[in-house]
Every structure is written in structure tokens, then in C-alpha cells.
Amino acid sequence: MKIYLAAPLFSQMERQYNRRLAEKLKALLPQCEIVLPQDFRAGTASFNDRRHLASVFKRCIEDLSSADVVLALMDGADADSGVAFETGYARGLGKPVLGVRTDYRQSQVKGLNLMLAAGASEILCHFSFNEQLDDLAGLIVEHLERLARKPL
């Protein structure tokens, strides 16, 4: 199974969290491939090098297109705009999307904008002050395995 991890990646904290979650998922699903777009830096150390943005976008589209499932992290007062795009693009391709929300703030639907909440195949809400990433990774794996088996 190829999993595309759609998540904010603009701060060191976000990138570290994404990597730790990917490692936890890989340990639970050793046969799967997890795509981390934060690694698509096209040979540059800078995420803001405008010369490489087109190739990063192209790589994201290619990996979204070949993914079996998209895991979209949807925390924050409003989900990251890149994650929102990746969710919509994947659903447009007919890919299953598992949205994950650990942020307990509430707005329209499960704390998300209606279009994003309805655009995901499923939303896993884990509103808890439990900071054990292993617990969340286990829940994600259960949902991913079910989504991978479910017809769209």
C-alpha cells in the first residue's frame, strides 16, 4: 500500500511530527510505502527556493496520483491549504482519503470546513490530551487498512 501523507510542513515542529508519525506507521505497516512531501526539495536545502517549486508541485501530483490512500492531517483552526488541495485532488481522482483531526476546536463539521470534511472518505477524530503518538498511529492503521479494502 502506498500512503501519501498530506500535512503541514512549514515549521520544524510540523516536519518532525510528520516524520515521527510516518516512522510509527511504517513500523506498524512494514510492507507499505509512506510518501512524505517534505522530502521533495529537489536537491535544495531551502523549501522557499522558487526555482524548484514547479518540480515539487509536479512530484506531489505524481505521488498523489499513484497513491493507494491519502492520509491528511487536518489540525489547526483551519486546515492547511496544501492539505485541502491534496484532499480535493485525491478525491477527484477517486482515491480514499483519511482525514485525521486531533485538534479539539470546533467549527462547522468535526472542527473542519464543510467542504474538507465532506471531501474526505473518513475523518478520524482523536480529541484527546493523550500525547502518545503510538496510540494515534494504531488508530490510523486500523482506518487505513479498512479504507484500502473499501470500494469507493
Cβ distance 70 to 4 under 8 Å?
A: yes
Backbone torsions φ then ψ of 19, nearest 5 degrees: -65, -45
Specify the number of domains making up the chain.
Answer: 1
Mean pLDDT of the chain: 87
> Range of 45's domain?
2-149
CATH code of 69's domain: 3.40.50.450
User: Exposed, middle or buried: residue 106 (CB in 10 Å: 0-12, 13-18, 19+)?
Assistant: exposed
From CA 126, how far away is CA 58, in angstroms rounded?
32
Element (H, E) at 58: helix 53-66
At residue 18, does pLDDT exceed 80?
Answer: yes
How far, in Å, CA of 64 to CA of 132, rounded? 28
Q: How confident is the model at residue 2 (pLDDT cuts 50, 70, 90)?
A: very high
User: Predicted confidence band at 43 (pLDDT cuts at 50, 70, 90)?
Assistant: low
| Rounded-to-integer distance, Cα 70 and Cα 97, Å | 5
- Give the number of other Cβ atoms within 10 Å of residue 114's Cβ: 10
Tell me the whole-structure pTM to 2 decimals: 0.82
Q: What is the structure's pLDDT at 45?
A: 58
- As given in the structure block, the three cell numbers for residue 94 are 477517486
Residues 6+ apart with CB under 8 A from 92: none
* Residues whose CB is less than 8 angstroms from the CB of residue 9 and which lie 6 or more positions away in sequence, other chains included: 15, 18, 37, 38, 47, 82
Mean pLDDT of 110-137: 81
Beta-ladder partners of 3: 34, 69
Q: Read off the C-alpha cell for 51.
A: 526555482
